[in-house]
Amino acid sequence: MIKEDSNAHDWTDAFAQRTAEGFADAFAENVVLEATTLVNPVQGRENVKQVMSAASKIYKSLEFTNAVSAGDKQFLEWVAEAHAGVKFRGVTVLTRDATGSIVHAAIHHRPMRAAMFFSELLGKNLRGVIGPEHFLGERVVE
């Protein structure tokens, strides 16, 4: 159960839906996604919605436990477990524009081995959709 004083329902609802469209509705066109599981940021609504949809499907369970807002930022604490049994904890920081759309998302997974597992699996699941330079275990052919 989430204890909150923020309005991050578009974000939490998108995780419940686990669809690209659910995430796209929350994002500004020029949204940027940074994460401990990404080697490089992902930019633009079309790319970020694909990453977030694929990422949400890795989780067997995800619970948002605390949330708070400060100005244009929202901070959400969470616990999760992947279908493979790997357990995570983390914090997500969302930045919104004047219209309420998310312009920046920073997702911080821990512990490190779990984050590395997540990055490698996400890269595998998004092969051919998002460039390999964004994930661990993926190499760019030069």
Residue 122 pLDDT greater than 50, yes or no? yes
Residue 1 pLDDT greater than 90, yes or no? no
Q: What is the CATH number of the domain that holds 61?
A: 3.10.450.50
pLDDT tens digit sequence for 78-119: 999 999 999 999 999 999 999 999 999 999 999 999 999 999
Domain total in the chain: 1
pTM value is 0.89
| Number of Cβ atoms within 10 Å of the Cβ of 137 | 14
pLDDT of 138 reads 53
User: Number of H helices and number of E strands within the chain?
Assistant: 4, 7
Cβ proximity of 20 and 53 under 8 Å: yes
135 falls within a domain: no
Residue ranges making up the domain that contains 101: 3-110
134 falls within a domain: no
141 falls within a domain: no
43 falls within a domain: yes
78 falls within a domain: yes
